[in-house]
A and B are shown apart, each in its own frame.
Chain A
């Protein structure tokens, strides 16, 4: 069960923040092409998640963007019964996914109802066009 939206309300767009945070642009460019891109330090291989301009381990400013396999496990989750923003219809779950590469990512579930969610459940990425100008990475049961 993915999140359902109220058609007359605007879903908050990531671009609202991206102007202040250019480091994350390649992630959102990747999502448009239905790819889950992760930033990695070119010098020591540390994952930089969320993205950042400098590697916290070796202080290199050289990084590369690589596509994630999109596979991971549910690490934790919550279910909203009261909507904190009018764009979203309740109830809906928000999950924290631990990708097999290591980084964790917040997302929604495409085909799993809140009652069926279990920590450790294997999932894989899918992409949903939620608005004309917005595609979001979501997760479904690993097939």
Chain B
């Protein structure tokens, strides 16, 4: 199989002595750092920690569902387990996953800046994230919460006696972490670009993050106030969501989904940014329809604000609202399809190679397409009324979030691992991990589509015996998936010491981040770069290499 990997001669190659990792030592130099790359690493470690806690909870859910009876745990324990799985995975993994790690690390480098515009705010956002995350763990240890991650009123305000307040507070704090990350990105992309770096020379990764940041900044405060109102309702009984006092629980749904639907795009857009970079690099072609892909990110962000009520088709909103929101929901399919088609056209007649990031990217394209198309079923009110609150929904958003975003996250981690650490991950075993993940994923979640259409409701610990065979498939698949996620942790840690030295640009990629040493200097570039070529210009890269050779000779 052909490959584009070009590594320096391993006998003489060394990791550069001066880099952002070696510049300062000691735990305080990390905890008080302003360096976006170090904060990205802090985020990467803490995110992985929360991912494995959320993953362990998912494992418990699948184990319970292995048999039709509720026999592994009591039903209310099951409610707590799936709630904490949702809370941790959404607020503490998916929302910050790509932006806080890869985005944090790469956006300043991609636009040719020394750092994000507001380094202290960046560090603050990590501390807020940790505070929220630890608070969520504390609530889990002291009894948990069982409302579902959606904090649905009046269940959350009147009926349950679990840790709604502290979990809400944890989500509130994590929300501010997300707001600060988004705010920082927008300001950085506007004000910190290197000379010559115009908007249409930006890598599509940056465009995708810009669109996601707009969502973070505009939508997150709304869920913050919704959580504040739930807290006031629960503690003081103010009555804003309480029908007995004239309030309306549907208002909570509107406020909550006004954030939580755009949040879905906060989770997926940065992943799409990763895929654009990876697809281009491993087919040695400029992304087909650069402008269309860039604007489709913005379009997803804009449409994303006007579809929230499709989560409420069965909750008693007016029929006219259902029609309008149904139509608007279909509109989101257009920019999403633009991306998928343009990536496919990028592959067309490209020189494709199949390194690990590319395998994950292919996984993303297939699984996201299935997840997106099943979303259309749910956007049509007729089928939605049948399918909502069944396993069809569960399968749909896991295809988008896990099949889409997690694949993109792993693709990006592998792709930029040599830049972050200066060393290559082992190629063969990571290709195996990508394939195992893909197979395990399909085994886990495809049966759930069938279960959903057959009518198995979500969020129950027991189910009729005729659903067992498909549930056994799903649990078996989850086991394979678990192996697929553990493998990267093992070999990536291994590669920190034993991986091959990567050199500046092992993939022969065109982004500015690849034109400097790996791992980079604290200031990213020895001199301020000047952007004198288009994004994804592989001919420019060839010319650069020739120049290098002549100047050395």
Asked whether A and B interact, the reply is no
